[in-house]
Structure 1
Amino acid sequence: MAFEVSTEAGVATFTLNNPPQNRLNTELMMGFAGSVEQLKDDDSVRVLVIRAEGDNFSFGGEIAGWDMTDPEQTVALFGVGLQITNAFEQLPFPVIAAVHGNCFGGGFEIALRADVIVAAESAKFCHTEAALGMFTLLGGVQRVAERAGRSRAARWALTSERVSAADAFAAGVVAEVVPDAELAAVTAQWAARLACGATRAHATHKTLLNAWANGGVKAADALIPELAAKLIRTADAKNGVASAVDADAAGIARPDLEFTGH
């Protein structure tokens, strides 16, 4: 299968498995869409990892399937891809992209939809679209701008340069760079930490960041009362605040908590 999904101990894993380049063909994208739909309301999932088999993360879209003689059909195909990646970005739990090898075009744009990108030292990122006379169809250029600023986003998109993992980290696009042999282990550490964390608080932070990305600080601030009213009623928030109050009163260190996601 070009796209695989598994879940264990609250950690869901999406795997791109379309060798040799992990192109985003129809089979892969439909598997992606179905899995996102399945997980979006699954309270047992507390974190998602997206990774890839083979030597590369993904070279991007399967351009051989684009019918440039039928613009309406091709634009509709692009629209479906955008809907799928938008839904992926809006999942209510943290998403980690584990990237190695080449991460080009639509593959880069999918990684940019994750909350955290962990990159192997071998990783190379590239907006390939301009080299084809196209543009970033899944929202890549604006998401680089969100993370790294407009000047860098313009440079990467206009030149289609290949950006090293180290340079992507320095730009703020990547959260951590690790030796290739340690990518799986470090990603698992990230996943385990987030899966044991405050799931509802994580979801709230994602909501605020999405609001900020779309409407700025004012739009995010406007959501705070509503989000607070929901979060303060959760068992995790009640237990978390109570344990902190008790620890402070006793003059001891606040304990590490096991959050249930409820």
Structure 2
Amino acid sequence: MKSVSLASMQTNTPLRVLLHGANGRMGQALLRLSSSREDLQVVGAVSRKVGQRVIDGVSQFAAGELGGTPDSDVVIDFSLPEAFDALLAHCVEHGRPLVTGTTGLSDAQQAALDAAATRIPVLWATNFSLGVAVLVDMVERAARALPGWDCDIVEQHHVRKLDAPSGTALTLGEAATRGGATPRYASLRAGDIVGEHTVQFATLGERIELIHRATDRDIFARGALHAAAWLARQPAGRYRIADALG
């Protein structure tokens, strides 16, 4: 089922990457950063519409042309929910591991990811920063160690970001909830802030603040490339960014 050649799994041969959502901000960052990595090679880029058929040596495909994309060892997706179903079905059919940062997925689409994970490795995250992955773990452990403390999550982003709380804030809140806390949220939109998340635990006479600040959007693309290189060699299952650390 899986179209992974023996050569591509050798350490001296780049893993073949299919990029879905290539025209977006993340897609463009992934294309740019992957070109400097020797272990990964983008063999195809999928967008809603295609102008040139080859850009910088990478074949371009429209969203409706998934069936004609080249064999790949892993797929990276940063697109839209309406394009997600066809891509997931394609990955399952061809046995391709899927790293996806597409947000706004419905409950049914999340359930489809769970079902797909019985056949292929899948990794979905709201934030691909490796630092945030560590922060999520720290928040859960802090919440478990500090029962009864107030838990507040404050997130700040640029003025163009519409959703609030951010997906990352909600992920941090889920971690706090798993640890037994009841998080509250506050959102700020100002200037060109890339992303800042503060998780505060407070009680009488003391408080703890756990903070992550992103100053460069490339960190998210680097995290996704790191996850793809790791996921391509994993068995079927549903994974988190934290699983790819260490």
What TM-score range do you get, normalising by the shorter chain? 0.3 to 0.5
Q: Is the strand fraction higher in 1 or 2?
A: 2
Q: Is the helix fraction higher in 1 or 2?
A: 1
Calculate the TM-score normalised by the size of structure 1: 0.33
